[in-house]
Amino acid sequence: MQTVKEFIAENRENILRDMARLVAVPSVKGPALPGAPYGEGPRNALNEGLAMAREMGFETYDAQGYLGWAQLPGKDPEKYIATITHMDVVPVGNGWDADPWTLREKDGWLLGRGIADDKGPSVLILYALKYIKESGMELKYPIRAIFGCDEECGMTDVEYYQANYPAPAFLFTPDAEFPLCNGEKGHFGGKICSPVCNGVILDFEGGVANNAVPDRAKALVKVPVDKLKKTAGITLEAVDENTTAVLGQGKSGHAALPEGTVNAIGLVVDCLLESGVCNEAENAYLKVLQNLHKDYYGRGVGIQADDGKFTPLTIIGGVISMKDGVICQTFDCRYVTTTDVDTLTCQMEAACGTAAHLEEVEGNACFYIEPDHPAIQALLNTYNQVTGRQAQPFLMGGGTYARHFPCAVSYGPEVQDLVLPDFAGPMHGANEGARFEDLLMGLEIYINALLRLEELEL
């Protein structure tokens, strides 16, 4: 039998070719079409992925364009092992050095939208299945390589999966970092909205995404510029003799890792409150926001929590906007195992009092699997054996597909604390890049890990 290393060496060029094929399909979410719930981009990328799988001789299944899969048969009629990667990508954004949909190679790096997140890993999984198929071994559990189409915009693809198909006995998602993440914080989100205040605030805007701390925010107020205090991080601009723009400049960052950020909305709120220019209803609402923004561990709004497993609960305010006299501030909270969405909702309502109310509250439970679970041990041991390391599993605040399955973890293939050369960018960034050798090592790990999972009692 061919060794895993020989197989990888022999398939190197084919792997590269197939990664280029997938990257070449622009698969940003778009308007729904028949058979394409996330638009034609993700639909076309799924077609390409499934075509590749059929060329390798696998059975494939298309779940109405929500997702699809390739499968290797196994003896157990009840239980199966699964992986899930995704075919959709985030929009291109600015700053690319070349066409984002043409896979480039430079100094051992592959560059293109989706190469790291998550088209490169999707191809790795297909080649892992190819190795197992060509080895001719009989599998106990069927192995299903699922390709999702809505990872980046809400993960409704896996909701569809859960509603229509039995869950795998164990799943891993190659859509994060090695070694392995065995728990993700819960997510709690919503909006804090004001009543119609009829005060001095004419407009309030800031933030680009609910899950990011904004570095810019701006309020337009019916107040002469000399009545406002120039507090920390604030620039005041007179629009006319009675109207002033209050501009905040903070430091942006991700909602899951808010340490070190400065929320620009909070700076504008502080300025308005310290200047004492707003009416009573506005002041009451702004105080709620001040409590939200002053501390990203939720102490200001009374929701702080720490369970000794995860890092403490965090909360940030992402986007603020004003429409028909109502100001709404989104929030994004990552919570730990000692609390839940109902408790948090109740506490947030208390923090709002009569000055504000919550809208569009939603949440996802935490997930946490004990690190001594046999499947986790199998994956971790495989990683440590292939890399020669002694790595331990980690927990995180961000959300992957793993939380949507009953027994699942995220497992590579990105290298932790990866140092990028100046021509390569991170996932979601310009010049998104991954080192080809790292991806190939990921393939070696995935092949060995799947074989070990087959030996377990699931």
Closer Cβ to Zn ion, 117 or 444, answer by number? 117
CA angle 271, 274, 278 (to 5 degrees): 85
Closer Cβ to Zn ion, 118 or 270, answer by number? 118
Closer Cβ to Zn ion, 84 or 313, answer by number? 84
Closer Cβ to Zn ion, 118 or 150, answer by number? 118
Closer Cβ to Zn ion, 91 or 325, answer by number? 91
Part of the chain binding Zn ion (CB under 5 A), chosen from 175-183, 351-359, 367-375, 447-455: 175-183
Q: How far is the CB of 256 from Zn ion (least distance, A)?
A: 14
Closer Cβ to Zn ion, 117 or 438, answer by number? 117
Q: Considering CB under 5 A, how many residues would be counted as binding Zn ion? A: 3
How many Å apart are CA 92 and CA 130, to the nearest integer? 31
Q: How far is the CB of 157 from Zn ion (least distance, A)?
A: 12
Which position has the token pair 């979410």?
29
Q: How far is the CB of 141 from Zn ion (least distance, A)?
A: 25
Part of the chain binding Zn ion (CB under 5 A), chosen from 119-127, 173-181, 267-275, 365-373: 173-181
414 binds Zn ion (CB under 5 A): no
Q: How far is the CB of 176 from Zn ion (least distance, A)?
A: 8
Q: How far is the CB of 118 from Zn ion (least distance, A)?
A: 4
Q: How far is the CB of 225 from Zn ion (least distance, A)?
A: 46
Q: How far is the CB of 45 from Zn ion (least distance, A)?
A: 13
157 binds Zn ion (CB under 5 A): no
Q: How far is the CB of 11 from Zn ion (least distance, A)?
A: 24
Part of the chain binding Zn ion (CB under 5 A), chosen from 48-56, 167-175, 196-204, 322-330: 167-175
Part of the chain binding Zn ion (CB under 5 A), chosen from 131-139, 171-179, 417-425, 431-439: 171-179
Residues 97-136 that bind Zn ion (CB under 5 A): 117-118
Closer Cβ to Zn ion, 301 or 427, answer by number? 427
175 binds Zn ion (CB under 5 A): yes
Closer Cβ to Zn ion, 27 or 231, answer by number? 27
How many Å apart are CA 195 and CA 197, to the nearest integer? 6
- Residue ranges binding Zn ion (CB under 5 A): 117-118, 175
